[in-house]
Chain A
């Protein structure tokens, strides 16, 4: 694309912040824990529950250890950024608001082909599902657009609309570069590679080769027992953090290749129980009923 002056990576984020801030969203900072996707941020998972209106936008660093490629693949990262917007109840003009954000970051819908293509979302780990689309721009998926129907096994009342932008992908498109590492991070000559290439190399090595699996297994167990403690003591927000930790620890164990196919289902079930149990306790502590 790259017609005119394309936004740098950081300006892309700042533009989205300004735009969604104007729409009444609380602009949050990233959650300070390792998560696989922006949906895990309590500002989405837990705020999607219950009757209270809630509008928020934030960047969430997301970690997917098995996607690491030691910095050698121009499109795959074990650590990347999602831009997440949640609006509850979903406003009637959410599609228009979203399209407005694309115009804001430089995508003209009379030059570029924007399409809403069916893509329903489900997260067994969070006991959640929703209907929506992946949004295509000239054949490339640039966002996920979901109307949450259930979270933690509970019907969403009311329904929240969730938008997730893949920031690196969007930036590569806007800037017209073929490798994520070539992205302009700012307009002062710093690239994405300058900031993250070494991180990808080292973290891929740690994820795949170094991480001590005995400790990881122990951490997983510790998260479970701490989660139980939190539930028993009526602090569901703290319990949810333990579920998040357990989930990421499981992802690391997967990357280390030490979980067999049979065990996999069992571990996922344990994480799901923790996540759903946290949602349940959160509902109860707020006095909300299913």
Chain B
């Protein structure tokens, strides 16, 4: 048993790739050795900017001898078959064994020297290495077949015990020699083997362990900060990055002019962290300190004075730029910045960002006027992606006194300004500060806090787990912005497909759900899309009677709608109520309306899918979600979700479980008896016609559409009214079930109509005992066809009553 050292030395490996590469090397090495039956005891991995290395512990010097048995042709087979087998095994015929008329060969493979295995494995590993990006270099790159590596590969050290493993890749020979620190140690170092590798390099100013360099950076920067009364803002990613940029990390503290602190702290932090890879510091009060820590790669002759001076100068230049932007941007009011949004294309078919902002502002106002976003703000604030309803309600912010019209006005104002910072210098320099800068600029020009907050936070929630805004102005703008994006891209048929979602519509939909589900009322998708079309296509706000009508509509109108009839134009200008628009479409453009409708259905499905994903992640059973969604006909997701939650509670009860069992039995019998009769889901929603549920002829239920051609199903259609239609005296349990249904059906229907799903479930629960009793004592499949038909119809009533709440057939278990 002995240890093996491998070092692959190259020019500077990008910091972000090092840890993955280190894992890949260990994995490839293990796999390659496993092919020869070798398993190292343990693998230690090392990586610096200039080397990838590993030490494999306790390798045997030989691989184990193996004996393999091969089955050959039958002894009666033609001689060519036998010859082929002998060639393959390298044996002679007398070495074969005849077992029941079949030749068997036993091939003994002696163990191989581990050194030979390694000599073959190393080039294979190097050639197969999965760098995210690799390159060719040097004279060998005359051909594109030359070796690829992340940066030029310069040396290979491969030592088993104390012995060199000779190997060669593209002219690079393995050896004992490596290099130390680029500046602290000139000339080659000779490595003895695994045992002295790390220490020899340490003596030459290279710490080969990434982890150790990270610890040094963390500890020494904390010490340097503490010496000045500061603390380091934790940033594990930045520690790892600096460990990936240094072989001998030396954290150094420098300061910057406190006058720069007038610039928003987010800007300073980004400048430090992203541009300069410096650590950010806080003072005793927790405020941003006018200092930074950079991580040098040398023990400088002057103790680092020149390095600190140089870095201070670079930082000062960058912060001066930032301060210049901060001052420059504030010379222009946000509303004037916003005018420049006309120059930025949002999407070819959806106009400029200015067009988008116009729609968002109108949608935001509409959301408030419809009562979808209310001054009372969120009822149930939540984290994105977490089911609404469980989070505690925080104290209501001070919006309680706001009236609806004040809220509408603020939401519209904030929406008009929400994208203005995109054209500021600061956001041009730091795109990740979009929204944040707008918030600062809004406050600086004295806009109301609610508006500044809305501008700052309207991109939220940006992903699962992000905070969901609760302030009403913010909610209105955030919701309107995402709705505009989603409806717009659906409208121009840019729905996500498979893994492609270039406009991040899934994320927008999840954001919309997270925002909506904390509101007391949901928007209707149908109303929303009609609104959007109207806002998108009319330049209503700027109506000017001197301009011909056609010009009142933006170009977008024609892009989206193609030609429309002139009376529509005339009237659209004067009708900005939803009903007005709807009737206009119905009268003049029925075909267009129909195509919007199919769009609505797709959009609704998309929301439903997102809601399922979101609820599943929140732990709601997906079969229950499916059961509720299968009903269709409902485009209010808040109501759908209420049903899912009610159903979840119900099926957990005894009554629920038993009713489900009874339902399944009934449904199975019906399926067997009338396979052609489709499951009559009440897709058209509650309240079919004037007759109440109770007055419906019982037998009708088996054929929910009595006007459809009778007699196509196996069940005959009986005329008759209620129980009196029975041509025989029902058995006690049968009569009891009829009576129970007569009561439960209207109660369920009323509860559903009142959106009281707990009530609907409770009404259904009353059916449990009568159903159990019915199955206990009544034979459905009675020889008398009249009884059989009537009982099947009764079971259909049970099924349909249940289906008025959810499609129980989707529920598993």
Interface residues of A (CB under 8 A from B): 1, 3, 51, 75, 89-92, 95, 99, 108-118, 120, 130-133, 137-140, 147, 149, 155-159, 161, 173, 178, 260-262
Contacts and interface: CB of A to CB of B under 8 A. Distances in A.
Contact of A92 (B133, B138, B343): B138
B138 A261 contact: no
Contacts of B278: 139
Contacts of B11: 95, 116
Nearest to A89: B139
B179 to A, nearest CB: 11
B137 A159 contact: yes
A113 B252 CA distance: 11
30 contacts: A1-B306, A1-B310, A89-B137, A89-B139, A89-B142, A90-B138, A91-B138, A109-B182, A110-B183, A110-B298, A111-B307, A112-B306, A114-B297, A116-B11, A116-B49, A118-B15, A131-B135, A131-B150, A133-B12, A139-B315, A147-B136, A149-B135, A157-B141, A158-B136, A159-B138, A161-B137, A178-B317, A261-B344, A261-B345, A262-B345
B302 interface: yes
A157 B135 CA distance: 12
Contacts of A138: 306-307, 309-311, 313-314
B154 interface: yes
B348 A262 contact: yes
Contacts of B678: none
A92 B758 CA distance: 77
B144 interface: yes
A122 to B, nearest CB: 11
B704 interface: no
Contact of B310 (A112, A149, A178): A112
B133 A120 contact: yes
Contacts of B184: 110
Interface size class on chain B is 35 or more
A112 to B, nearest CB: 6
Interface string B285-299: 000000000101110
A173 B310 contact: yes
B141 A158 contact: yes
Contact of A111 (B16, B276, B300): B300
A51 B307 contact: no
Contacts of B182: 99, 109
A90 B151 CA distance: 12
B517 to A, nearest CB: 37
Nearest to A140: B314
Contacts of A161: 137
Interface in B1-43: 11-12, 14-16
Interface in B96-154: 133, 135-144, 150-152, 154
A90 B12 contact: no
A95 B133 CA distance: 20
B138 A115 contact: no
A107 B657 CA distance: 81
A117 B11 CA distance: 11
Nearest to B305: A111
Centre residue among B133, B297, B310 by max chain A CB count within 10 A? B310
A114 B138 contact: no
B691 interface: no
A109 B183 contact: yes
A139 B314 contact: yes
Contacts of A139: 276, 278, 294, 310-311, 314-315
Interface string B277-288: 010000000000
Given A109-B183, A137-B310, A131 B133 contact: yes
Given A112-B306, A157-B143, 11 more contacts: A109-B183, A109-B298, A114-B183, A116-B12, A117-B12, A133-B12, A139-B314, A147-B137, A147-B152, A158-B141, A159-B138
